[in-house]
Structure formats: C-alpha cells, structure tokens
Chain A
Amino acid sequence: MAVTQLVGAKIHRREDPRLITGHGHYIDDFARQGTAYAAFVRSPHAHARIKRIDVTDASKAPGVVGVYTARDFKGQLAGTHPAAPAFVADKKYIPERFPIAEKEVCYQGEIVAVVLADTKGQASDAANMIQVDYAELPAVMDLEKALEDGSPKAHEGGPDNVCWDLTYTGPEVTEAAFQEADTVVKQRILQNRLAPVPMEPRGVMAEYEGFDKKLTIWMSSQNPHFIRLFVSGAMGLKESQVRVISPDVGGGFGSKISPYPEDYLVPSLSRIADRPVKWIETRTESIQNATHGRGQFYDVEVAAKKDGTLLGMRVTQFLDVGAYCGTFSAFQACACLMAGGAYKWKGISARTIGILTNRVPTDPYRGAGRPEATHLVERMVDLVAGELKMDPVDIRKKNFIQPGDFPYTQNFGLVVDSGDYEKSLDVALKLAGYDELRKKQAEGRKQGKYIGIGLSTWIELCGFGPSAATAPATGGIALVESAQVRVVPTGSVLVYTGTHAHGQGHETTFSQIVADQLGIPIENIEIRHGDTAEGTSFGYGTYGSRSLAVGGVAVSKAVGKVIDKGKKLAAHMLEAAEEDVVYENGSFHVKGSPDKAKAFGEVAFASYGMSLPEGMEQGLEAVAYFDPPNLVWPFGAHIAMVEVDAETGDAQLQKYVAVDDCGNIINPMIVDGQIHGGVAQAIAQALYEEVVYDNETGQLKTGTLLDYNIPGMGEIPIMELDHTVTPSPTNDLGVKGIGEAGTIAASAAVINAVCDALSPLGIKHVDMPASPDRLWKQMKEARQ
C-alpha cells in the first residue's frame, strides 16, 4: 500500500487553479513577433462551379501581405484528405479533396481564397473585397433521393453519391428469427445532424523557419501527433521537422480529431510568406466547417416472441457523409455492430450506406455510432414492449446478456469483456423510485397530463484499441498508447502521455495513478501532454473514451519499469539480492527488514551517479506502450421522467437518474462530471439541437448560436447519479472509459420518456429533436 491512497478519491483538479484565474493558455492566447493574420473566403453556395476569382481590390487593401487561391498551394501541398478505413475497409468512392477549392465547391463554407494581412481586421476587410463568380449547381441534400438513379451528384465528376455500401450480415442470418416471430415491429429512426460546438472554436498558428526547415504549429487539437503526421506529409517535410503544440483545449467532443483544410493552409502560408501566420475560427465558421456528427437515419425491424423474447433485428444505416469522406467518418458505422445493445439476439442483419451530399462532412462526435446504436435498440425494445403490453423493465430483464455469459461473443464477433446489466438497472430503478414514478404518472394522466418515463440500458465499446483491430482501421498505425516516465536526479517525476485532455482532467487522474504506484506526493509529479517535441515518439490522442483505459495503463506500465530498475539499483546499494527487495510507500527495502531501506529520491539521485551495478546505464526513466488485448465495455441504466405540455408540446425533464459502470474509478468527482456533461449533450440532441440546411439550396440555416440551440442553464436538470463497479478484466487498472457514456445513454431515455408520455394519444415514436414544434404537430395530428 502507498502512503496515500489517491486512486478512488475525490481529488481537486490540478489544472483548475490556472483555469479559474484566467491563466490557462488556449490557442488564441499565443502570439509570435511579426505574425500575419489569415482570413478565409468561403463558398456561399452548397454546390457551384468557380468561374473566376478577382483579387485585384483585395490585393491593394491596407496591410495586405498577399491573397492566395488554389493554384498558389499547388506546389506547396500534396495529396488528398486522409480517409481511414475505420469500420468500412472498402469504400466505393472517396472524392479527392484539396484543402482549397479550385474548380468546384461542394459545401457552403468550403475555402476558395485566403488573405494574409498585418492585422485581423485588415485581413477580414480585404477578404470581403474578393469577388468570386460562381455557376450554381444542384445541391444534393436528401439521402434517399441521392441514391436514386439519375440523381444530381454531390461532385460533378463522381460516379454517383455512394461513398460506401457494406452489408456486414445479410438477411439470411435473421431468416429463422423472423420466421419464428410472433410479432415484427418496424420503425424508421432519425438521427439529427449535430454541431459539436466546443466553447473554444478551432485555431491554428504556424511558424516555418526556412533556414532550418523547421515548422512549429500551435493549434487546438485532440490529436497533435496525427496532425504532425498528416501535415508533414502534405508539405513534403520530414515528420521530425514538424512540432505540433496543442495547449489547453477548450473542448473538442470529436471535432478536433481529424485534420482540417486550415491545418494545412496556415502552415503552408507561413512557408510562403516567411512569417508566422495565425487564424482563429469564428463561431459561424465553426458551425459551418467543423465536422458535424450523426446526420443519419435507420430502417429497423425487430422480430420477437409474444413472451417478449427478442429474436432478430434487421438494420440499415443511411449515413450522410457530407461533401467529402471525413477522416474517421466510417467509424460511425459501428452503430451497426453495436445495434444489439445489452441483449441476446439469434441474429442481426446489418448494412451501412455512406451517402455523399453537399453538406459539411460528418465525423465522430461524442459517442460516434454508439449513441445511434443505443438509441435505435432502446427505441425498438420499447416499441416491442408497447406492442406486447409489457413493462419496459420486464422486457429488458428478460433479454439481457447475463453476468455468467461474460466474456460474451456478440453477433458480430466482438467480445464483450464484462457486465452486470440487471444490477445497474436495479440500482437505477431504486434510485429513481420507479414504482412511485409510475404512480405519479397514473395520477397525472387522470388530470390530463402527459407524463412519461423512459429507460435506457446502454452498453458501449471504447478504449481504442487493440493493435490487431485498430492498425487495419487506420491504415497502418495501431491506436495503442505510449507513456514516458522520467525521474529527474532530485526525485521529482515527469510523466509524458500520448493522450491529450480537453477538459477530462488527465493532469489529475494520471497523477493519482502515479502517486499511488510510486508512493510519493502528488506535488512531485507533473503530467505533460500535447507537445509532439516532448515525450515518446508517437502519441495517439484523446477520443473514443480511450485515455485512461489505454493511456493510463501505459503510464502505469512505464512507472512499473521505473520501479523495476530502481529495485535493481536499490539491491546493489543495499547489498541485497534483487529478488529480496520490495518497493513500498516510496522506499525500497529488504523483505522483512524495513530499516534496511533506500528512499525513492535516494535511488533516483544514485541512478545519475557512479558505482552502478555491472551493465546498468545511468538514469531512471522508461517508455512503455500499452496494446490492450480487447476493447472495454462500460454500461449502465438511465431513467428519465418527462412532462410534455398538452398545449405547447414543450417537453420538460422532471427527473434524470443515471447509474453507470465504468469499472474501477480513479476520481469519482471527474467521472460524475463526465456523466453530467455527456447526458447534457444527449438531452441537447433529444430535445433541442439540429443543424438545419435548406433542402433545396443547401444554405445553412443554423449558422450562429442564435439559431443552433445548445442548451443553457434553464434546460438541463439536476441529475441523480450512482455507480456499480464491474472492473474490466482486460487491463491492470480494471478501468473502462466514461467520457462518452452519458451521450451514448441519454437520448434514448429522454425520447422513450417522451413517447411514453404521448402514448395515450396513440403516438408510438417521436424523432429528435423532440422540439415543441415537432411534438405540437404530432400531438395535433394524433388528436384528429
């Protein structure tokens, strides 16, 4: 045991003092001497041919350094936007994408020109003087029409609009299940397109030093090492010549994983203009250009027996890829593989179709594929329950994968590591007072109130991931994680991790792990991340709830290596056999003789001195990579109670209970915070948010926070949380990810509650966002 037991304790966050006093460093807080500012000219059309760009006036405007169009970058940047295989190895059509359009623009916001000027104001003034003549083309906006023969194409030269079309399992695997069925329930389920909206928009600053051929990029990124890889390749630089620094990141939610056109153009402009260049995204640019999430619909059929036994599911995912295939766009197809949820099925048939349109590309947004899977299966289970007049609790319990079934190989061959779904549901039912809620609902209904209760017994897969699965998915680089632990001579410890936090508190939780393992004060530990010039040669970034379950374990492994070396040295210093030395409470001592000891600091100092054991090199540091044997599988049960106003259709959350199981917990305060935020984003999807484009013209109608309705303080209820703890058997810390859980779980609970509330009107299904407008119309129709 360590002197202090920090793992599992509510430790104050170590990053907070700088953030609450205004001393954080976000991308826009950085400046370099002699910086020029970039302003981009973007297409106002969803789809058009570029006829002519006139930069005459702009070039002469005050302070302008230069005006650049596609041809200026032709010798500067090579290649096309990376599109990883992810869950669809063979894609039909990936349109070429250069960071700046030359002949054709394919979504509103696509870059056509850029101005560099001495000040931000001058750059933006001059950008407004650029005249672009366009010939408008028809915009592909409707997913079903986009698949019809003779449909206009999202790209003029493209074969059609099918980016991918993959059948994972054909109808034959569910034939028996559907034949055996007493009832078959069908539903089309929409997944509204969402904008991630981190409170800090993106930003890039780059300084190319021509003499040394060295490039430094400062940017707000979840994923600095991958940016280094992509940008160095495109610019013809060695990866080792490029340094990417991602400082404090003001939220990401998936929108800061993939490379963007500006990530290439700003460094390239620095090379062209031979001075530092900076660009900070405006909110409108962000909503218009940062990748969106969801934007799908599903056709689902479920076969069940009359006793509620689920038999088979057939699901087709129609996914709006947008104008170009996003780097991890096809990750979202994991919704198909996760469609079975927490239940046992005889068969699941699944097909995913990725469809090109003239909207901004979609890519992972918090949960990415797993919220969609939860939503569809939890909705379908409720529809079956409704059909069979069963309580939603009973049908779930009847079909859960049981604790004794783990490790459980599900329908697509994925191995679910552990779980106890009934237990988390029982805890949630008790916490919510489920029977009481049902009584309240019955009383309310007598008074004409539309009160509903909704469940979501969610599961997910996260912690990407095992090399065997992830190397093929990225096109070669396995999404393992690295860590370096460096003990400096006076015994304080630097820990470098290849993950990178954007609000998750890694500086705190990773320190807790190291402090316990080394038995030293947390103040002696510093966690460093986000700078590719520091630490290991490659880091894999933060997304897919992977940081603790992969990165935290790598840190722990590296600490283990440091202790192992320390033991060898301590044994030498104590003139004892290595196998007799143990490490406890921050000191090495001979087994059974606690007095014969060397403190961690003494051994650290000695490691930089002389008289080391034969063959031992100086120093006390280690690098470790962790290649997890499996993904991790968190789960839980959420319960929402909603009242829908009979007159206005306004759905108000009356209660929200979340019981989640992420295995062992390092810092419960941070875990709860992740759940709060995740649930809030799912409530946002369920009730408030939707990116809306005009269906004919492709004009974005929700381009500011006036129109894109992210919830404020009045919209999110206080949540009641609890946990069950089912440690993951696949890593030494027994941990699972929790960053996306709330978002994966909650939309289904909220919408199931809304549907339950409106069931007296005969309404069975409601799509998202369940806005007053949508519900009012649906209620009005139902009453007629």
Chain B
Amino acid sequence: MKQKVATSVNGRRHEHEVEPRLLLVHYLRDNLGLTGTHIGCDTSQCGACTILVDGKAVKSCTMFALQAEGKDLTTIEGMARDGQLHPIQQAFWDEHGLQCGYCTPGFIMAAAYLLSQNPNPTEDEIRKGLEGNLCRCTGYVNIIKAVQTAAKTMSGTQAKKTTVAAGGS
C-alpha cells in the first residue's frame, strides 16, 4: 500500500515510500529527522507545524506527505544559510520573541510568508497575518516586535537596536 513521494526539502531531494495516511508533518519529523517542525494540536489550530510549500505558509498537519509530491518545501532548518541566521530568526532573538520556543519555528515560517507578501506590514496586518499561530508564553507582544524588526532589516532600513548582545551571541 505504500506509495512513492519525491520532494525537495530545504534544497535537498528526498524520495520515500510512505503510507498514504502519513501526514506531511510526520514525514518531515519521522522520515527526514527534521524535528524543528513541531506538533501542538490535532485540529490545525496552533500552527506549530507551519512550513513553506512552494513559498506559501502551510500547516504541515493539514497535508498528507503524498500531496507534497514534486513540491519545494522549506522548514525551520532551512532558514539559516551559511551559518547566518535569517533576519526573522535574528529578530526573534533580538526582541525576545520566544520563551519555551515550541511555537517559534511555526511563527518564523508564517512570518516569512507574511513578509514575502507584505514587506512592511502594520501592527494590525501582522496580527491578522499570524492569527493562525498560537503562543502560550509571550503574550505575542515581542513576536509582533520581532516581525516589525525583521521587516525593517529585510527592507534594508536599519533595525532599531534594542538589546545588547553581550553574551551568547
């Protein structure tokens, strides 16, 4: 009953025989070992499993692995390039946009899609753009700041420095 699925994940080709009922999120985590994509609910509410499918934010629990045939996927592991954090990752770090970190990969991926569609979102547009993701730690305040900071960095303007990277950086 297993069927073949071929995808590109973070620029690498993968081919596997999988059960038709296998969800994409389980494929990424269990078959490819990409455990940065998390599972936080059973009903597609929380967005912890958000990835990019052909550049669009998708909750990977809402797709079967087989539906990813021929698609180009990006997960959180594919965001940093050549040891350089993606500006959105950097902004989450700078603005304390995470605490326990469990929802964070999903938020970063959803923010990546939002900023690809709207490089300079207002606070309201950020709230609407990320309403499909839930966080229980931050009260969202610093996530909004992080997305604003990332937008500034990515559009080339100088992001405001709010933290001193004295340690751990």
Residues of A near any B CB (own CB < 8 A): 4, 6, 9-17, 19-26, 28-29, 121, 197-201, 248-251, 253, 282-284, 502-505, 508, 511-512, 515, 522-523, 669-670, 672-673, 676-681, 704-706, 710, 712-714, 716, 718-719, 742
Is the beta-carbon distance between B101 and A11 smaller than 8 angstroms? no
| Whole-angstrom distance between the Cβ of B101 and the nearest chain A Cβ | 3
B133 part of interface (Cβ distance < 8 Å):
yes
Pick the contact of A11: B128, B130, B166 (CB < 8 A): B166
| Whole-angstrom distance between the Cβ of B8 and the nearest chain A Cβ | 17
**With A248-B101, A677-B136 as contacts: A11 and B41 at CB distance below 8 Å:** no
The 9 closest A-B pairs by CB, nearest first: A22-B36, A250-B102, A680-B139, A19-B101, A503-B100, A503-B99, A14-B168, A22-B76, A676-B139
B143 part of interface (Cβ distance < 8 Å):
yes
Is the beta-carbon distance between A16 and B167 smaller than 8 angstroms? no
The B74-107 residues at the A interface (CB cut-off 8 A) are 75-77, 79-80, 85, 89, 92-94, 96, 98-105
Other contacts beyond A11-B166, A199-B40, A705-B46: 4, CB < 8 A: A28-B38, A199-B103, A704-B42, A713-B131
Is the beta-carbon distance between B36 and A21 smaller than 8 angstroms? yes
| Whole-angstrom distance between the Cβ of A675 and the nearest chain B Cβ | 8
Is the beta-carbon distance between A4 and B134 smaller than 8 angstroms? no
Is the beta-carbon distance between B130 and A249 smaller than 8 angstroms? no
- Please report the number of residue pairs spanning A and B whose Cβ atoms sit closer than 8 angstroms: 204
Q: Can you list 10 A-B pairs, Cβ within 8 angstroms, ordered by A?
A: A9-B166, A14-B168, A19-B104, A21-B77, A199-B38, A282-B42, A677-B137, A680-B138, A713-B133, A714-B131
Is the beta-carbon distance between A523 and B45 smaller than 8 angstroms? no
| Whole-angstrom distance between the Cβ of A197 and the nearest chain B Cβ | 6
Is the beta-carbon distance between A199 and B46 smaller than 8 angstroms? yes
Is the beta-carbon distance between A11 and B135 smaller than 8 angstroms? no
Output the residue of B37, B40, B46, B165 with the most chain A CB within 10 A: B40
Is the beta-carbon distance between A283 and B40 smaller than 8 angstroms? yes
Contacts of A26 in B (CB 8 A): 35, 38, 102
Output the residue of A9, A12, A284 with the most chain B CB within 10 A: A12
Bound Cα distance A349, B94 (Å): 49
**With A12-B167, A22-B37, A716-B141 as contacts: A199 and B80 at CB distance below 8 Å:** no
| Whole-angstrom distance between the Cβ of B16 and the nearest chain A Cβ | 15
**With A12-B169, A677-B137 as contacts: A283 and B94 at CB distance below 8 Å:** no
Flag B39-75 by CB within 8 Å of A: 1 or 0 each: 1111101101000000000000000000000000001
Contacts of B45 in A (CB 8 A): 704-706
Specify the chain A residue showing the minimal Cβ separation from B135. Answer: A199
**With A20-B98, A512-B167, A714-B131 as contacts: A676 and B46 at CB distance below 8 Å:** no
Contacts of B104 in A (CB 8 A): 19-20
| Whole-angstrom distance between the Cβ of B142 and the nearest chain A Cβ | 6
B3 part of interface (Cβ distance < 8 Å):
no
B9 part of interface (Cβ distance < 8 Å):
no
B34 part of interface (Cβ distance < 8 Å):
yes
Pick the contact of A22: B105, B131, B137 (CB < 8 A): B105
B151 part of interface (Cβ distance < 8 Å):
no
B14 part of interface (Cβ distance < 8 Å):
no
Bound Cα distance A515, B166 (Å): 12
B115 part of interface (Cβ distance < 8 Å):
no
**With A6-B167, A21-B77, A515-B167 as contacts: A710 and B134 at CB distance below 8 Å:** yes
Contacts of B96 in A (CB 8 A): 13, 669-670, 672-673
Output the residue of A17, A20, A248, A719 with the most chain B CB within 10 A: A20
Contacts of B133 in A (CB 8 A): 712-713
B127 part of interface (Cβ distance < 8 Å):
yes
Contacts of A200 in B (CB 8 A): 38, 40, 100, 102
Is the beta-carbon distance between A251 and B100 smaller than 8 angstroms? yes
Specify the chain A residue showing the minimal Cβ separation from B124. Answer: A714
Specify the chain A residue showing the minimal Cβ separation from B36. Answer: A22
Is the beta-carbon distance between A250 and B108 smaller than 8 angstroms? no
Pick the contact of A713: B89, B130, B136 (CB < 8 A): B130
**With A17-B93, A704-B41, A706-B43 as contacts: A677 and B168 at CB distance below 8 Å:** no
